[in-house]
Chain A
């Protein structure tokens, strides 16, 4: 992809973006744009939708029609856009707090309806924009401003949740796995029905700073070394071997073709 192509998707008059130095959200945006561009979609036929939070500022930097909505409700708004005009390509950016806490109900129902859109969750395991409060994805024991003694609640596995709720395509990667992430988003874009791609991202400011991952590289390295391919996990399970508690799975969770809503005729 040439630089020229790359730039046409960004609102040059809006840059630089507000993301902190070292934030992983820019990587996810770039991966998304690369995948969208590879689909051959036109700028004028594509709509980006988001809720509230760091992730949700992303559509404001993209040249398409874009809807930056209320906290947790991006999927409800996106449902209206897609159902009212199925010819539009709809991509939703969301964060772990936006999607799974306040927006949890919309998340499971959008997956259940299997609406033809691609949902990309930038999971930084914390509320970044409000300054580092615990989210449903803050790992047990980790420090946030509302879990000063370490998070005690179990973590939501968003990818597994999307599979159970009915999404047609579900994958999880990290901002370290750039090539895999681009590929997964691409498959998500071309799969009819709801595609959910969870992208684990580093948040040096709100998460890393409090959890012994001060350097951006440290957190990216943590994701590289603690990401276990689903296939490997299944193999270890078959062999009766134990899976270390701090590992998380990455890869393609499901690809299927349940009936979908909002698919262009």
Chain B
């Protein structure tokens, strides 16, 4: 059974979180993500979960990580400036393999920028923003339905891979209202328990250690310092540090094509749009308006780890056009993975999304 609703994107994100069993939300209000905190404040107590408005974004992600260690499915939501503040603790979550979900309803930057306007300027920040070498998972919805679906998926991927996951939405999708269907129940992938006799950070074949929930007798020591399999600091051991960081990166990167979530349309086309988030909608309109033209479209719902093989599905591609609400952050990633094909960044700033007309003009220009 499903329930049909007409709902705002930010509200759908909350509903997805609640359906996924989120029982801890720590946050700090910031436009355009605030409706998420407000709705969680309203709904969480009725579900027996915890909502707490922390003193800032640094505290919010700190509390989320602390809650996660008690076994909670924990989430925070923010926007650009708050996301920047969270970077140090997000690196901590990567190093300590703490599952949590961070929703970034992106707005125009740098700095305070355009609080009420849309942007996708944090796409590289979520990948490279924290210090050291890390790998994370980032999901991008392009509809209100996907706000729900991908929020659920964010929790499952976070728990499966023991990593912070990022729902990299934006003001457009966060504030638009659409019809969505909410299922009675969703699939929930639980955290793996540690196997008897295993050390706190002893990885299994999938490179992921079981999660020693606090209060269950594991007596785990958790530190952001380089640590051995017991979890004890061993910060001056070069081999151990390299092995640890390589595992943290490889456990995600080696599964990049399994994690991938995308639509590939007209895979025999010569001109192909690559999109994620709101520009997906404009490209779909172009394809709808011009069925006679064979225009390809790759829509990525998961952008990190970058699924480079999805580009190879377009066997005749001569040109990839990448419309995005920044000056070419993911276009650069596309460029890294093609040889001989042209990559045209269509970066756009200011807060409005591309029009189907301007996208179609670009197709004609290329052809």
Contact = CB atoms under 8 A, between A and B. Distances in A.
Interface of A: 11, 13-14, 43-45, 47, 49, 59-60, 63-70, 73, 76-85, 87-88, 105-106, 109
Contact of B214 (A47, A60, A73): A47
A70 B224 contact: yes
B66 A44 contact: no
Chain A CB count within 10 A is highest, among B23, B58, B218, B230, for B58
B288 to A, nearest CB: 46
B282 interface: no
A43 B221 CA distance: 13
Nearest to A90: B66
Contacts of B64: 80
B88 A80 contact: no
Contact of B70 (A60, A64, A66, A85): A85
Contacts of A49: 66
A79 B66 contact: yes
A60 B225 CA distance: 11
Contacts of B58: 73, 76
Chain A CB count within 10 A is highest, among B66, B67, B74, B92, for B66
B220 interface: yes
A73 B62 contact: yes
B219 A77 contact: no
Contacts of A14: 232
A81 B50 CA distance: 11
B215 A44 contact: yes
A65 B62 CA distance: 17
Given A87-B215, A109-B59, A76 B52 contact: no
A63 B221 CA distance: 8
Interface string B40-66: 000000000010101110111011111
B52 A83 contact: yes
Contacts of A69: 62, 65-66, 92, 224
Contacts of B60: 76
B222 A68 contact: yes
B273 interface: no
Interface in B190-217: 212, 214-217
Contacts of B221: 11, 59-60, 65-66, 68
A88 B214 contact: yes
A79 B63 contact: yes
